[in-house]
Amino acid sequence: MAHTRSRAGTGILTAAALLVVTGCGGSAISDTGSDSDGPLKIGLIVPLTGPVSSTGKALRNAFELGVEKVNEDGGVNGADVEFVVVDDGGDPATSTQLARRLVQREKVSMLFGTITGDTAEAVTKVADDAKVPFGTAILGDTGQCHPYAWGFGESTRQLLTPTIPALLEKYGKRVAVVGSDYNFPHYYLRVAKEQVKRAGGSVVAEEFSPIGQTDWQPVIKRLKAAKPDVLLAMVVGSDAVSFSQQAKQFGLLSPQLGYDGAPLDSDYYPALNALVNGRTHTVRWTDRLDDPDSRAFVADYRKAYKFKGPMPEVAGNAYFGIQFFLAAAEKAESADGEAINTEIGRLTFDSPLGENTRFAAANHILQADMFQATIKPGGAYEVSRELGRVADTTPMPGCS
Amino acid sequence: MDVLLAILTLFGLYGLTTLGMAVIFAATRVVNLAQGDLIMVGAYTAAVLTGPAFGWRVTLALVASAPLLLLIERLLLRRPLADGLATMLVTWGVGMALRQAAELWFTSTSRSVDAPVGGTVTVLGTPYPAYRLVCGLIAVAVIGLVLLAAYRTDWGLTLRAVADNPAMAALLGTDPRRLRTIAFILGGLLAVLAGALYSPLLAVNPTMGFGLLVPVFFGLLLSRPGALGTAAGAALAIAALSVLLRTWLTDVLAEVFFYLIVVAVAALRSRPWIRRYMSWLTRVRVPARAS
């Protein structure tokens, strides 16, 4: 009797463990457009639920305002632009399914969105197969180029080229890198190594940890033992918060240590404020940018969504990025994805992201401006230095 | 020493949650899939109520969660109790509802909680963040008290009797329904306490408890149903294994080995000859203890 019960108990436990290990993916579709062939239709794939949903929602909000602005100015080819928003929950399998559904059933002419690198990669494959352009707004790339994928966030090189020499000059030459264990942080380390070497420094420690880490003590101990002058952290999501907090508690994160990376993004400011105040951070866009279009967007966003904190960079990239895409569609004079894609590659566009911004043919990286922001108490990411156009034309496999 | 302190801190978190789950499992045969989300409830209480001192916030988290747990048990878990799988799914639903409610009220942006005790203390020559030590010690003390209650009080005897044979326990005059309610509240409160206590070390967000469920399940899987001591022991083993592997290997490799080892141990335990050997051990020990 005891044997049977214990076996049943083990069965239930195993089922429970499996349920938790495999997670619970979900998707939802909310249609705000129509399925007629006439007007241009965009499919927006964002995580509205799950661990990165706050960034996903910021992207969606800014995207909606961007489309609204284009429609107020007359739409594209004389008709209002429509869009469909879907929630991938940050799960790449769901992203693939939804992207296919948007292309096949909703007949969208372009795709936009995603936050994490794995979901972007999933949608990229569908976009390449379906020959529809796909735009992302999040920073960083993984060193791969795809014919139909275009990123409005800064590339890894655009991010690190101005950051590393400045940090090395101010804090010292020994650099440690810590990251979440997925494709983008690994590529970030590769580029960081190149840049550190060029600036005369050395990478003294490199650590990767699976996403969702609770206890950072072993990682922090190893980083501390390497005695770094600068710490580059590409730990994302809630790990950015728990890592920074624990690094502070273990005495690693001191004012003498240079610190930059994802935890300094404005997304995490509400949780990390005291830890990042006074530090500098390299960005493509901040809500404190002194530009009339940017200021108008910030005011609209804050009013429309009753948002008070520092606005995530992804919002600015998405707002001006979708306008870039729609300008290309206007030029293509067609809702055909392939025609729009060709125009995206040719277009030069003025926005607060830079004058005459355009994509480099060799890597599909947006050649745009960068800024150094100083984080002030209260979450103001004030522009402390205009870095101008930071070029990244390094050829990448897939396009060059 | 560093490693021992790390094990202590992690054991506190895993131990409280696993023990809570084991108490609920012992009394109800239900795997509480909302246990991780109860950690989140505790952590949010500590993060949101910024006015009172940290100790009061932890107390408030416990006081406010008790009626919530009572409601969940009375309204949702009573009827499907006959079917373990159905009840487990109900707890899954409760967890989802708690996560969604937290996302709705507090958004999914992570929050942080300031540690009430700053600075470091030196333990046998090793400097260690004071609050990590404090919360590890409090957690171990609470785990000790729960085990003491389970093995040295009438309530504990009843709990173990119900865990062993609910029908017989009911025939002998124990009210299993009352016991189940108390066990669910106590088990849930242990998770709430873990969340509130450890909130200064973690990023507080609606999905924070979800990731903690995996080690807790492994702990429960390796323990014997009804034997709370083995649940605490398993949690200690899981915490030690995790810390040791991560000390010797990189985090990525350590995670692979961690899963491999836990799954191998669970698979080996179910082999008939090992099971028989372990049951002999138990049988020999029982009369020895009684004499």
Query: Region B283-290: what's the mean pLDDT?
Result: 48
Please give, rounded to a whole number of angstroms, the shortest distance from the CA of A394 to a CA of chain B: 30
Residues of A306-338 as b/e, b for ≥16 C-beta within 10 angstroms? ebeebbbbbbbbbbbbbbbbbbbbbbbeebebe
Determine, for residues B251 and A207 on separate chains, whether the beta-carbon distance falls below 8 Å.
yes
Chain B CB contacts of A13 below 8 Å = 31, 217, 220-221
Lowest mean pLDDT among A44-48, A59-63, A116-120: A116-120
Determine, for residues B224 and A6 on separate chains, whether the beta-carbon distance falls below 8 Å.
yes
Coil vs helix vs strand at A385:
strand
- Tokens representing B8 are 């202590």
pLDDT at B236: 95
Determine, for residues A12 and B84 on separate chains, whether the beta-carbon distance falls below 8 Å.
yes
The reply to whether ipTM tops 0.90 is no
Q: List A386's β-bridge partners, or say none.
A: A371
Pairing of strands A82-87, A28-31: antiparallel
Residue A7 — pLDDT band, cuts 50, 70, 90? very low
What's the gap between Cα A202 and its chain centre? Answer: 27
Percent composition of chain B: helix, strand, coil (DSSP 3-state, to 5): 80, 5, 15
Chain B CB contacts of A210 below 8 Å = 251-252, 255
pLDDT at B159: 81
pLDDT at A21: 41
pLDDT beyond 60 at A174:
yes
- CA A351, CA A29: separation in Å to the nearest integer? 31
Give yes or no for B247 touching A (CB within 8 A): yes
- Tokens representing A78 are 């004389």
Nearest residue in B to A48, CA atom: B108
Question: Which residues does A233 contact at the CB level (< 8 Å), separation at least 6?
Answer: A177, A178, A179, A240, A243, A244, A259, A260, A261, A262, A263
pLDDT at B74: 87
- CA B274, CA B258: separation in Å to the nearest integer? 21
Please give, rounded to a whole number of angstroms, the shortest distance from the CA of B246 to a CA of chain A: 6
Coil vs helix vs strand at B163:
helix
pLDDT at B64: 93
Please give, rounded to a whole number of angstroms, the shortest distance from the CA of A385 to a CA of chain B: 28
Query: pLDDT tens across B130-151, in order?
Result: 999 999 999 999 999 999 998 8
Q: Name the residue facing B201 among A238, A245, A267 (closest C-beta).
A: A245
pLDDT beyond 50 at B47:
yes
Q: Using N-to-C axis directions, what is the helix angle for B176-198 and B2-28, rounded to 10°?
A: 160
Nearest residue in B to A206, CA atom: B250
Residue A3 CB neighbour total at 10 angstroms: 10
Give yes or no for B180 touching A (CB within 8 A): no
pLDDT beyond 70 at B158:
yes
Chain B CB contacts of A224 below 8 Å = none
Residue A29 — pLDDT band, cuts 50, 70, 90? very low
pLDDT beyond 70 at B285:
no
Fold match, A28-154+287-368 / A157-283? yes
Starting at the earlier edge strand, list the strands of the sheet with A369-376. A280-283, A369-376, A380-389
pLDDT at B80: 54
Query: Region B229-242: what's the mean pLDDT?
Result: 93
pLDDT at A140: 85
Contact criterion met (CB below 8 Å) for A65 and A304: yes
Q: Name the residue facing A54 among B109, B212, B247 (closest C-beta).
A: B109
Query: Region B179-191: what's the mean pLDDT?
Result: 92
Residue A16 — pLDDT band, cuts 50, 70, 90? very low
Give yes or no for B200 touching A (CB within 8 A): yes
Query: Region A303-317: what's the mean pLDDT?
Result: 92
- Tokens representing A363 are 């890597």
Question: Which residues does B153 contact at the CB level (< 8 Å), separation at least 6?
Answer: none
Query: Region A45-51: what's the mean pLDDT?
Result: 87
Query: pLDDT tens across A179-204, in order?
Result: 999 888 999 999 999 999 999 999 99
pLDDT beyond 60 at A273:
yes
pLDDT beyond 60 at A111:
yes
Q: How many residues does chain A have?
A: 400
Chain B CB contacts of A180 below 8 Å = none
Q: Which of A4-13, A120-129, A134-143, B272-281 has the highest mean pLDDT?
A: A120-129
Tell whether domain A28-154+287-368 is in CATH 3.40.50.2300. yes
Determine, for residues A14 and B221 on separate chains, whether the beta-carbon distance falls below 8 Å.
yes
- CA B196, CA B44: separation in Å to the nearest integer? 7
Query: pLDDT tens across A369-389, in order?
Result: 999 999 999 889 999 999 999
Give yes or no for B106 touching A (CB within 8 A): no
pLDDT beyond 50 at A6:
no
pLDDT beyond 50 at B12:
yes
Q: How many residues does chain B have?
A: 291
Lowest mean pLDDT among A58-72, B11-25, B107-121: B107-121
Give yes or no for B225 touching A (CB within 8 A): yes
- CA A391, CA A370: separation in Å to the nearest integer? 10
pLDDT beyond 70 at B286:
no
Determine, for residues B221 and A213 on separate chains, whether the beta-carbon distance falls below 8 Å.
no
pLDDT at B39: 96
Q: Name the residue facing A238 among B110, B201, B225 (closest C-beta).
A: B110
Coil vs helix vs strand at B92:
helix
Q: Which helix (H) or strand (E) holds A354?
A: strand A354-359
CATH topology of domain A157-283: Rossmann fold (3.40.50)
- CA B197, CA B38: separation in Å to the nearest integer? 13
pLDDT beyond 80 at A122:
yes
Lowest mean pLDDT among A6-15, A51-60, A234-243, B57-66: A6-15
- CA B197, CA B117: separation in Å to the nearest integer? 12
- CA B75, CA A31: separation in Å to the nearest integer? 36
Domain ranges within chain A, ordered by starting residue: 28-154+287-368, 157-283
Residue B79 CB neighbour total at 10 angstroms: 11
Query: pLDDT tens across B206-216, in order?
Result: 989 888 888 99
Query: pLDDT tens across B77-120, in order?
Result: 776 556 778 888 889 999 999 999 998 898 888 899 988 988 88
pLDDT at A39: 83
pLDDT at A357: 94
Query: pLDDT tens across A160-169, in order?
Result: 999 999 999 9
Query: Region A33-42: what's the mean pLDDT?
Result: 64
pLDDT at B290: 42
pLDDT beyond 70 at B59:
yes
Give yes or no for B282 touching A (CB within 8 A): no
pLDDT beyond 70 at B218:
yes
